[in-house]
Homo-oligomer: A and B are copies of this chain.
């Protein structure tokens, strides 16, 4: 299920709104970097995002990609994901969703499930702090890795 053009546009508009609200400049680079994450469904890491953006924008530099990704993270426009020895992966899906992660190769995909969205967390958590979101991380082996074993 690829991300619809509509959804990508929605994300771009939201990005625009947030930037205006916080007085962040919408530079050519930031727009392209955010678009790349917004339209990716494979949760790329910084290096992958850099390579993809570079195709359309050959002068972009890797450090700008890093700076921009963490800025987007601070702004709450992307979330981060990790697994095992893998590097940080980025996800622009802000809707309630959950993750499948392959423990072997790091393959990661979103999935949606309204039952899981209604999870009730125990009160013990109040001892730790304030919970903002909760999602399920389903870990296992992806199809490709199952075959390899």
Binding site for B on A (CB under 8 A): 70, 73, 80, 82-85, 88, 100, 102-103, 107, 109, 111-113, 115-116, 119-122, 124-125, 128-146
Copies of this chain per assembly: 2
Task: Report the separation of the CA atoms of residues A112 and B121 in the bound assembly, to the nearest whole angstrom.
Answer: 10
Contact A131 to B121, CB < 8 A, known contacts A70-B85, A80-B84: no
Candidates B111, B115, B116, B128; contact of A142 at CB < 8 Å: B128
Q: What is the CB-to-nearest-CB distance from A33 to chain B, in angstroms, rounded to a whole number?
A: 17
Q: What is the CB-to-nearest-CB distance from A10 to chain B, in angstroms, rounded to a whole number?
A: 22
The answer to whether B146 touches A130, judged by C-beta atoms less than 8 angstroms apart, is yes
- A126 to B, closest residue via Cβ: B143
Task: Report the separation of the CA atoms of residues A111 and B143 in the bound assembly, to the nearest whole angstrom.
Answer: 31
- A128 to B, closest residue via Cβ: B100
Residues from chain B with a CB closer than 8 A to the CB of A140 are 129-133
Q: Can you list 12 residue pairs at the A/B interface with Cβ under 8 Å?
A: A82-B83, A107-B129, A113-B121, A113-B124, A115-B120, A121-B138, A129-B143, A129-B145, A131-B140, A132-B141, A134-B137, A135-B137
